[in-house]
Structure 1
Amino acid sequence: MYWEDFLHVTAAAVENTVSSKRVDQFKEALGFHGIPAGHVPPTFVRTFSFGDIKGLTWPDAGMIHAEQEYDYYRPLVPEETLFCSQRIDKVVRKTGRSGEMAFIYLTQTGKDSAEQTVFISRRVLVWKAAGQRSEGVPE
């Protein structure tokens, strides 16, 4: 099984609520003091679940977060419910000093109850253990 086997397979959408309590905890944890109530930091979506890609087991260790970007079509609203999913759009393999690596380009999307896209998050993850066998994890 390889990361490429999961290209363009979209996870079933998962319901997430922009809980005011969790937003306040998030702001406090990041030291965002003085930000007005009701304002949701754009990186709050990192706390969401984006569903499971059928058959894919993510590794417990060895994955490195390389880069991330967000496109917002409107601000997040406290207490709204968003439906979030993810897919792998591209896999690039490279060999470096530490061995073989797989660069996994992941797109995560959040839509509102009217099915309008609220945000798109694009992430690049690096699987440094590429080429090694790990139970249930792609190589």
Structure 2
Amino acid sequence: MNLNKSMIGIASNPYSVVIEREHVTRFAQAIGDNNLLYENEAYAKTTAYEGMTVPPTFLVALGSHAEFPLKLDFKRMLHGEQEFIYHQPVRIGDKLDCIMTVTDVYDRVGKSGTMQFLVLDTNMTTEDDTLVAVSRNTIIYRPVPKEAK
């Protein structure tokens, strides 16, 4: 399958995730981030965040819950870029309603030929539909190897 602009707007089924303290703690340990904002409520209340929050890159862990309708060849995929756009802090106990959508498809010529880029935005909202954050993932979709054509 090759990518094309007609894919823009294709979305996953909506899904919900509850931010659990244990998950946040394990994530912070895995990335070696021992910031007290993720563990110590008394300390976190004294900061600009006014309470515990999640590590900035934590949202990447929530994308695995998406059921995405595009059937992509995982052998051709490379992680290109990840961006997190926060509109408000994400806190332990928050229930986020999420939907992943194709927001862009474009081509670039590289050393091995034309590569395609797929941009996926996962919008994360509260139950009252307030946008909390967007996790933007750019996937590089490599050309089919010549011997496989």
Query: When the two structures are superposed, what TM-score results if normalisation uses the length of structure 2?
Result: 0.77
CA 1:34 to 1:104, structure 2 compared with 1: closer, same or farther past 3 Å?
Answer: closer
The aligned runs of 1:42-81 (5 Å cut-off) are 42-49=56-63, 51-54=66-69, 56-81=70-95
Q: Is the 8 A contact 2:97 2:127 kept in 1?
A: yes
Pick the structure with more helix per residue: 2
Paired letter, 2:58 = F
> Please, which runs of 5 or more residues in structure 1 have no aligned partner?
135-139
Q: Is the 8 A contact 1:100 1:130 kept in 2?
A: no
Q: Is the 8 A contact 1:100 1:131 kept in 2?
A: no
Match of 1:105 in 2: 119
Q: State the percentage of identical aligned residues.
A: 23
Paired letter, 1:39 = T
User: Aligned residues, how many?
Assistant: 132
2:15 & 2:73 partners in 1: Cα distance?
21
RMSD over aligned Cα atoms: 2.1
CA 1:34 to 1:70, structure 2 compared with 1: closer, same or farther past 3 Å?
Answer: closer
Query: When the two structures are superposed, what TM-score results if normalisation uses the length of structure 1?
Result: 0.82
Q: Deviations over 1:12-49 (max 9, x none)?
A: 21111111000000000011124232331121111113
